């Protein structure tokens, strides 16, 4: 059976002290073993990154960009293989995996723009014969800890820009689906990246804690659940590191009476059930304003959901695939059962579907729950599965109050034809990413991604302009060359 190791200093490394099963979620069978790096192996990766940093920092940014341009081409040429690995170990249908890769490549393209982004600022003659300028300098060794649900895209939120800014990088991807991440790392070295600049170690909490506490690591980026994000942030900052930790979500869509219900139904289906709902931007709560709107919405959704196809990643005609593990499948079904016990109505029940040819896969079909209230566990917590809850309210302000009072503030959207309502919603909703008739308001690569409240710990968002700020430190230089013919006296006043 295949054993998946690490990539350190440009070379594949195998470490077999501890192994963990990697499943094919479509079949429910063990497909490989992944080595879980002990502290010594992670320290080896940090040492490789530390040794590579001085030369890489001094490499002209235009030469770094040439490598990144070649990397983009290699990613496109190897897209089919990358997406196949994502499907095998995550369960994403090929079209969904390709969408993830495409969004990742967009961040590589933005990183190629770093020669412009790193130019800094210059002011001539801020005082008599005094010039001043600011420049952006690399931090050193930085680390990324990434989740299973986007094994390609989320790492690409981090390492392309971090590397382009002159840092070296240690990535700890999810141990549940590591192969695609290792492949894209190998392609970066094939593009010409020097050994040690980018290293990948697979592991669990031991690997994570090593990255969080090692003094050679200057900054840590994380995406995952809120409890872990809070732990990552508090531990990293307690050890003197810069940290951004993106956590969980409970994303609401308010549907006003004037909305195009047919359009709302179609977009909610994709936003709620795409990638089996295993997205931090999945829309998991539809807030219908008025019973008439709710009845139309539920009727449209339940009818359309009869045509949803859940199944193996290898069938491109399927709409979405399995959940990542049997434990996650059982957890999602528990949330559905708890909502039913609390008095909600299960309109479409996706528990325990029969997927022909795949009796042991980790499947939950699309599930629609009506009459959900804010007191229910299924409403309060992130389900991370193909479950859409419908909450009924009397007016838009009640819906906005629900959203603003929730602990998460990642993404939200409003369905309406009313421009005044849309403007009020966008101005007053306490959420970091807002869509108007856009169900998944994921920013493009030249903007930054991040939520509010307990969806983000740290001051800077992921990728986009904030990535340059996160992965560099600003230095301001003020310079004067006095005339050799003029002797100056002592001045004890504060300079002005």
Q: Which residue has the higher pLDDT, 357 or 495?
A: 357
Of 91-95, 238-242, 244-248, 484-488, least confident by mean pLDDT is 484-488
pLDDT band at 190; cut points 50, 70, 90: very high
- Tens digit of pLDDT for each residue in 251-275? 999 999 999 999 999 999 999 999 9
The whole-angstrom separation of Cα 71 and Cα 150 is 19
Q: Quick one: which of 401, 462, 496 has its CA closest to 111? A: 462
Domain regions of the chain by residue span: 3-247+455-477, 251-436
The whole-angstrom separation of Cα 436 and Cα 263 is 13
What's residue 482's pLDDT?
A: 81
Fold of 3-247+455-477: Aldehyde Dehydrogenase; Chain A, domain 1 (3.40.605)
pLDDT over 90 at 27, yes or no = yes
Best CATH choice for the domain 251-436 from the list 2.60.40.3710, 3.30.450.30, 3.40.309.10, 1.20.81.30:
3.40.309.10
**Active-site annotation, residues:** 280
Exposure b/e, 319-357, CB count within 10 A at least 16 = b? bbbbbbbeebbebbbebbeebeeeebeebbebbeeebee
Residues β-bridged to residue 33:
3, 21
What's residue 74's pLDDT?
A: 98
Beta strands in 128-212 (DSSP E): 130-138, 141-145, 168-172, 198-200
Chain mean pLDDT for the chain: 96
What's residue 178's pLDDT?
A: 97
What's residue 280's pLDDT?
A: 94
457: burial class by Cβ within 10 Å (0-12, 13-18, 19+)? buried
Q: Are 189 and 198 in contact (CB under 8 A)?
A: yes
The pTM is what? Answer: 0.95
Q: Which residues does 271 contact at the CB level (< 8 Å), separation at least 6? A: 253, 281, 282, 283, 439, 440
98-112: average pLDDT: 97
What's residue 489's pLDDT?
A: 79
pLDDT band at 1; cut points 50, 70, 90: confident
The pLDDT > 90 percentage for the chain reads 94
- Tens digit of pLDDT for each residue in 425-478? 999 999 999 999 999 999 999 999 999 999 999 999 999 999 999 999 999 999
- Tens digit of pLDDT for each residue in 175-186? 999 999 999 999
What's residue 399's pLDDT?
A: 98
Indicate if the alpha-carbon torsion angle 398, 399, 402, 407 is positive or negative.
Answer: negative
Q: Which long-range contacts (CB under 8 A, 24 or more apart) does 118-127 make?
A: 118/61, 118/165, 118/468, 118/472, 126/478, 127/480, 127/495
């Amino acid at each position: 059976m295949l054993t998946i190791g690490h990539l350190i200093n440009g070379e594949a490394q195998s470490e077999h002290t501890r192994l963990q099963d990697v499943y094919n979620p479509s079949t429910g069978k063990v497909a490989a073993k992944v080595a879980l790096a002990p502290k010594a192996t992670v320290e080896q990766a940090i040492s490789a990154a530390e040794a590579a940093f001085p030369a890489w920092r001094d490499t002209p940014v235009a030469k770094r960009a040439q490598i990144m341009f070649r990397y983009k081409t290699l990613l496109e040429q190897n897209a089919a293989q990358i997406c196949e690995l994502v499907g095998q170990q995550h369960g994403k249908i090929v079209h969904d995996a390709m969408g993830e890769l495409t969004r990742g490549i967009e961040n590589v393209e933005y990183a190629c723009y770093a020669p412009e982004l790193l130019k800094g600022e210059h002011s001539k003659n801020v005082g008599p014969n005094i010039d001043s300028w600011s420049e952006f300098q690399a931090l050193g060794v930085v680390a990324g800890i990434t989740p299973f649900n986007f094994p390609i895209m989320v790492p690409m939120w981090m390492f392309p820009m971090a590397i382009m800014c002159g840092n070296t990088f240690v990535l700890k991807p999810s141990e549940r689906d590591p192969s695609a991440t290792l492949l894209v790392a190998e392609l970066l070295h094939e593009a010409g990246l020097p050994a040690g600049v980018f290293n990948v170690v697979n592991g669990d909490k031991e690997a994570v804690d090593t990255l969080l506490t090692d003094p050679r690591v200057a900054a840590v980026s994380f995406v995952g659940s809120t409890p872990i994000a809070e732990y990552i942030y508090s531990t990293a900052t307690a050890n003197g590191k810069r940290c951004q930790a993106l956590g969980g979500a409970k994303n609401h869509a308010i549907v006003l009476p004037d909305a195009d219900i047919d359009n709302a139904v179609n977009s909610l289906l994709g936003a709620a059930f795409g990638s089996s709902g295993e997205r931090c931007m999945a829309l998991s709560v539809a807030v219908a304003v008025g019973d008439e709107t709710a009845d139309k919405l539920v009727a449209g959704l339940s009818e359309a959901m009869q045509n949803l196809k859940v199944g193996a990643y290898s069938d491109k005609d399927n709409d979405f695939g399995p959940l990542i593990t049997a434990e996650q499948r059982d957890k999602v079904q528990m949330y559905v059962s708890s909502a039913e016990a609390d008095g909600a109505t299960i309109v479409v029940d996706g528990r325990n579907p029969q997927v022909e040819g795949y009796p042991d896969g980790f499947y939950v079909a699309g599930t629609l729950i009506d009459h959900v209230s804010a007191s229910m566990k299924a409403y309060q917590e992130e389900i991370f599965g193909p479950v859409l809850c419908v909450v009924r309210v009397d007016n838009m302000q009640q819906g906005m109050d629900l959203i603003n009072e929730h602990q998460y503030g990642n993404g939200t959207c409003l369905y309406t034809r009313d421009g005044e309502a849309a403007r009020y919603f966008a101005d007053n909703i306490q959420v970091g990413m807002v869509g108007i008739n856009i169900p998944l308001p994921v920013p493009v690569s030249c903007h930054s991604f991040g939520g509010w409240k307990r969806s983000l710990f740290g001051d800077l968002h992921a990728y986009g302009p904030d990535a340059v700020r996160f992965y560099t430190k600003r230095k301001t230089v003020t310079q004067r060359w006095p005339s050799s013919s003029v002797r100056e006296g002592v001045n004890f006043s504060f300079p002005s």
